Amino acid sequence: MNELADGTIRAHPNGLGKTQRIVIFILLLAFIIRILGITRESIWLDEAMTGLRSQMNLWDLIENISPKDHLPLYFVSIWILEKIAGNSELVLRLPSAVLGALTVIPVFFIGSRFSRRVGIMAAFLTAINPSLIYYSQEARMYAPMAFLAALSLYYSFEMIKPSRISKKHAIFGLVITNTVLFYLHYFSAIFIAVETLSIFACDLIMNRRRIRKESILMVLPNIISFIIFLPWLSFILIRYPFSGHTTGGGLELSPFLLYATYFFLGGTYKFYYELEFGIPFIASLWMLIAAILGTIYLTSRGSRDKVSRRMWIFFIPMLVVPTLSVYIISYCWQSIYNYRYFIFIMPALVIMSSLGIDYLLKSITKITNYRELLRIMIILFIPLFLLTADVFMFAREDKSDWRGATLHIENNLGDDDIILPQPAHQRYTMYYYAPDLPIRSISANPTNVTELFEDHEVIWLVTYQYRDLDYFGFIDLLNNRTVEKIEGFSGLNVWRFSR
């Protein structure tokens, strides 16, 4: 294995070199971790919507997502896949697992522009990051989004300073990748905007602040991608007025939400209203500290090292601008802020953390006689906590068991029974598993439901475990019935009311 000064790695003349074998091992590890237990937990609401849409005809699918805060590419891709491989939880989640694992490759290539060690550490941290693993086991577009963001950054660096592919191929790859990103998720536009400004700033600074013809050509691929996206944007704006769009994924704004986003990117894959101090929190904290050290490292080297300067120009804005800009938009307009939407920042954060670890390793050689022991501890510390967080994540069930509850009711359903899922929108999750169930949709405090209850001998009520029956305004109408509580479904209670 020969490594050039710019990070380019040539193939070993006698076969795979050491670095290539390490990267292949990391890739296999990433894939195994993501496939392991991929169908262990039930489909949840958003995944169920993916599955139900894949069973529509193509035009109905597009019509269904058009007025909502979604783009067509991911759902059309799943629609095609399920026509080939059939409808199952594994088929739904497999694209996320595969692309989630493949993210280690562009991350390695970007990191190895700085050094081979940084590239390997970045690839390994990507493979074992709990947040990336979590979304690699969901039938949603977030793992593909992280992969494409990493690939886009790789092509951007290759376009500015080719090392593995020609500039022409890098431009073509960037156009394709960012066009796919545009059609994958609306937040990709934020990523591409920051990337475009970084490309332009990088060319400007590296050429002594002179705007050249090449400076304009550098941002042309992203402009072409946006032009290719315009037909869909025009279709949406003409067919569905902007005022009618929904932002159902937006969370209630708070200072906690802003800084919790970075803990999510570091590995705390799921939280509610406070950060729980535990293994995932510690792993995230160390990832963030390492990223801060990486920032210091790049800043100190930027004046004399072109590679460090380019990375600083790309990664520092990528870590800060998207979250702050969306927070401001959400504060001034309406909330479109959700931590998972920023998963495209993950490749940049992982590389910055790897640079921070590299900085620590180099600093230790200058300050202590026990440098080998400390180097081993630093190399192992963050990965050890991340792997422990992965075990913690696997042992913990985060998705309610709608699969088990639905199949239990289906197997014990009478001819005249009805089912009331609460909240009512969870009927879509139950429909995914049993599309013919007699489900009725009513709110927690409905009116005029007396007749509905009187017409049926048995009523099934499915609720979240943290809600008792007093929460529901219609429960008084069921007081004259025999109540049976059926347990054994994670996160859920199943109640059977019979006369």
Residues 240 and 66 sit within 8 Å (Cβ to Cβ)? yes
pLDDT tens track for 62-97: 888 876 678 889 999 999 999 999 889 999 999 999
Closest by CA position to 197, among listed 223, 179, 172, 227: 223
Tokens at residue 132, please? 């990336």
pLDDT tier at 358, thresholds 50, 70, 90: confident
Q: Which helix (H) or strand (E) holds 462?
A: strand 458-464
The average confidence (pLDDT) of the chain is: 83
Cβ atoms of 444 and 422 closer than 8 Å? yes
Cβ(2)–Cβ(109) below 8 Å: no
295 pLDDT above the threshold of 50:
yes
Mean pLDDT of 210-221: 75
Q: How far is Cα 399 from Cα 39, in angstroms, rounded to an integer? A: 11
* Angstrom distance (rounded) from CA 429 to CA 406: 9
Range in 222-231, 418-427, 452-461 the model is least confident about: 452-461
**CA triplet 323, 106, 171: central angle to 5 degrees?**
90
pLDDT at 248: 58
Q: Which of 406, 347, 339, 411 is nearest to 109 (CA)?
A: 347
pLDDT tens-place string over residues 275-287: 566 777 777 888 8
What's the CA gap between 27 and 9, in Å, rounded?
17
- Report residue 368: phi and psi, to 5°: -150, 155
Phi then psi for residue 467, to 5 deg, are -110, 130
What pairs with residue 2 in β-bridges? 10
322-349: pLDDT as tens digits? 988 888 888 887 788 888 899 999 999 9
Give the list of residues 6+ apart from residue 426 with CB closer than 8 angstroms, or none.
45, 402, 462
Comparison of pLDDT for 114 and 10, the residue scoring more: 114
Degrees, nearest 5: CA angle 193-197-203: 145
Contact 468, 477 (CB under 8 A): no
* Residue 326 vs residues 152, 211, 422: alpha-carbon distances, Å: 21, 30, 31
Q: In percent, how much of the chain has pLDDT > 90?
A: 38
Q: Are 489 and 405 in contact, with CB atoms under 8 Å apart?
A: yes
Residue 32 CB-density burial (10 A; 0-12 exposed, 13-18 middle, 19+ buried) = exposed
Q: Which residues pair with 485 in a beta bridge?
A: 495
Placement of tokens 């929460």 in the chain:
471
Omega of the bond leading into 423 within 30 degrees of 0 (cis): yes
Asked if 173 and 155 touch (Cβ cutoff 8 Å), the reply is yes
The four Cα atoms 454, 459, 464, 468 give a dihedral, to 10 degrees, of: 60
